[in-house]
């Protein structure tokens, strides 16, 4: 028998009318739905029909994103779904570990083991302003805080042993207090006594996700993450990133299969390539290119609007990759790297930016999209994809109803859900309670 082919994993990135910059103007878009629970429930239903692993909810603490707060939305969706997982983005710079450990434990219990945490550190001074902080911490400091924050939350989840709840009617005992423990964590940034006031989550820990491709981000992923979202726009860059991050795991006693790498992918799908190209051109025509050129010019020392659209992107005028080190520097690297590798014109650069806002986009027939996914899997550019449909809900329907069956026919995607938890679907082990053995030894010593 031949070696089993790598199976794709998919989650879908929830976002209003879609991820193409012109989506909200398209006649098939459903606008005004950003705050509508029924709309998100419909998207969750499409995800379950397509056997997706999870829904991903981005979040931040400033700006005018028109986003519902993730815990509130995903808890509501958990009650209306059975299988799909829920990835909530929560920042470590403007929260406290106890509060977040409690919320994720609650979401994991409500969903019966389908919660995941997308760990971010925050990205702007506006976040600091909204929380009354004197300033936004420097990039490396934010990641130091984030690393310690994750460790505290894991210890809090472990502060309850699995069998602490006993409901012993005869002896009038609901809880075995000997199996609940203070953590007494004392670190550089946090001092937390514990224990948590809710039992350990069904998955042990919610699945730990990290989004970011900076050096600090890759190291945090290697140390703690089980899924990493990234934004490589070319297969070559994706393969380099994949090899780099997987090779770091050994330093933390981990193996490559303990971390799934899932780049963002915005697929524009048609029954034929011509049909897909027509849809892309229709969506592109809805975007004001002047605003997009102004935004993309932030990556350069020149104004792109002063160039002809058929000129090559002036990559020699790009700002150094570290120019935004106190923001999201990795997205700049991915965007400019793609222009270099693919020798793009400014027109192509614009079109690429419309669809995936920094992630790779691909326009083609059902077979071509399936070929793209198969190639990235086979050549170790990805373990799956964070799907960014260009247009909701029709673009998501097209992927689920056409691309997914083609991948199933190729043996590259599940035909039914495995197990009951998100960890089961992702092939991730349930973490052992890191304190249980030490606590047991302490009881024996006494």
Q: Is 321 annotated as a binding residue?
A: no
Interstrand relation of 85-91 and 185-186 (parallel, antiparallel or unpaired): unpaired
Q: Give burial (CB, 10 Å; 0-12/13-18/19+) of 346.
A: buried
Which pLDDT score is estimated for 260? Answer: 98
41: in domain: yes
Q: Give the CA angle between residues 226, 228, 232 to the nearest 5°.
A: 155
Q: Is 59 annotated as a binding residue?
A: yes
Structural domains counted in the chain: 1
Q: Which residues of 412-427 are buried (b: 16+ CB within 10 A; e: fewer)?
A: bbbeeeeeebbbbbbe
Which pLDDT score is estimated for 330? Answer: 54
105: in domain: yes
Q: Which two tokens stand for residue 163?
A: 């069998």
Q: Indicate if the pLDDT at residue 206 is higher than 90.
A: yes
274: in domain: no
Which pLDDT score is estimated for 63? Answer: 86
233: in domain: yes
Q: Indicate if the pLDDT at residue 333 is higher than 70.
A: no
300: in domain: no
CA nearest neighbour of 351 among 271, 285, 303 = 285
In tens, the pLDDT along 83-137 reads 999 999 999 999 999 999 999 999 999 999 999 999 999 878 999 999 999 999 9
In tens, the pLDDT along 2-39 reads 457 899 999 999 999 999 999 999 999 998 999 999 99
Q: Is 62 annotated as a binding residue?
A: no
Percent of the chain with pLDDT over 70: 94
Say which residues have a Cβ less than 8 Å from residue 243's Cβ, sequence separation at least 6: 380
275: in domain: no
Q: Is 143 annotated as a binding residue?
A: yes
In tens, the pLDDT along 210-226 reads 987 888 889 989 999 99
30: in domain: yes
In tens, the pLDDT along 80-89 reads 999 999 999 9
Which pLDDT score is estimated for 327? Answer: 46
Least confident of 19-28, 195-204, 296-305, 349-358: 349-358
Q: How far is C-alpha 399 from the chain's CA centre?
A: 19
Look up the CATH number of the domain holding residue 53. 3.20.20.30
Residue 131 structural domain: 9-267+360-445
Q: Give burial (CB, 10 Å; 0-12/13-18/19+) of 156.
A: buried
SS3 state of residue 208? strand
298: in domain: no
* Mean pLDDT to the nearest integer, 243-265: 97
């Amino acid at each position: 028998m031949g070696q089993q082919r790598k199976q794709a994993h998919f989650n879908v990135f929830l976002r209003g009318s879609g991820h193409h910059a012109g989506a909200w103007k398209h006649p098939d878009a459903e606008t005004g739905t950003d705050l509508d629970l029924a709309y998100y429930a419909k998207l969750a239903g499409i995800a379950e029909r397509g056997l997706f692993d999870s829904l991903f909810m981005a979040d931040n603490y400033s700006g005018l994103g028109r986003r519902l707060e993730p815990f509130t939305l995903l808890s509501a969706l958990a009650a209306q779904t059975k299988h799909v997982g829920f990835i909530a983005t929560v920042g470590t710079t403007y929260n406290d570990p106890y509060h977040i450990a409690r919320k994720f434990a609650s979401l994991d219990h409500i969903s019966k083991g389908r919660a995941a945490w997308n760990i971010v550190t925050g990205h702007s001074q506006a976040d600091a302003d909204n929380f009354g902080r004197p300033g936004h911490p420097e990039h490396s400091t934010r990641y130091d805080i984030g690393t310690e924050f994750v460790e505290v939350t894991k210890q809090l989840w472990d502060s309850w042993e699995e069998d602490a709840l006993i409901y012993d009617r005869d002896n009038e005992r609901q809880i075995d207090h000997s199996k609940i423990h203070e953590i007494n964590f004392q670190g550089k940034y946090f001092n937390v006594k514990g224990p948590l006031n809710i039992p350990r989550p069904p998955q042990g820990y919610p699945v730990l996700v990290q989004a970011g491709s900076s050096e600090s981000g890759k190291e945090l992923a290697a140390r703690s993450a089980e899924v990493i979202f990234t934004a490589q726009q070319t297969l070559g860059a994706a393969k380099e990133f994949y090899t780099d991050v997987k090779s770091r795991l050994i330093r933390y006693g981990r193996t490559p299969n303990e971390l799934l790498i899932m780049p963002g992918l915005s697929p524009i799908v048609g029954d034929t390539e011509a049909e897909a190209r027509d849809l892309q051109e229709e969506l592109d025509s809805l975007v004001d290119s002047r605003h997009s050129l102004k935004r993309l010019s932030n990556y350069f020392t020149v104004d792109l609007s002063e160039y002809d659209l058929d000129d090559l992107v002036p990559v020699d005028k790009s700002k150094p990759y570290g120019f935004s080190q106190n923001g999201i520097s990795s997205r700049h690297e991915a965007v400019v790297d793609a222009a270099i590798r693919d020798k793009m014109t400014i027109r192509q650069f614009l079109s690429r930016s419309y669809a995936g806002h920094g992630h790779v986009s691909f326009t083609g027939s059902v077979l071509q999209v399936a070929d793209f996914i198969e190639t990235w899997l086979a050549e170790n550019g990805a373990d799956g994809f964070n799907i960014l449909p260009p247009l909701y809900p029709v673009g998501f329907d097209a992927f689920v109803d056409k691309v997914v069956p083609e991948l199933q026919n190729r043996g590259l995607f599940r035909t039914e859900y495995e197990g009951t938890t998100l960890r089961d679907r992702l092939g991730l082990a349930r973490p052992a309670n890191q304190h249980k053995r030490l606590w047991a030894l302490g009881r024996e010593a006494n």
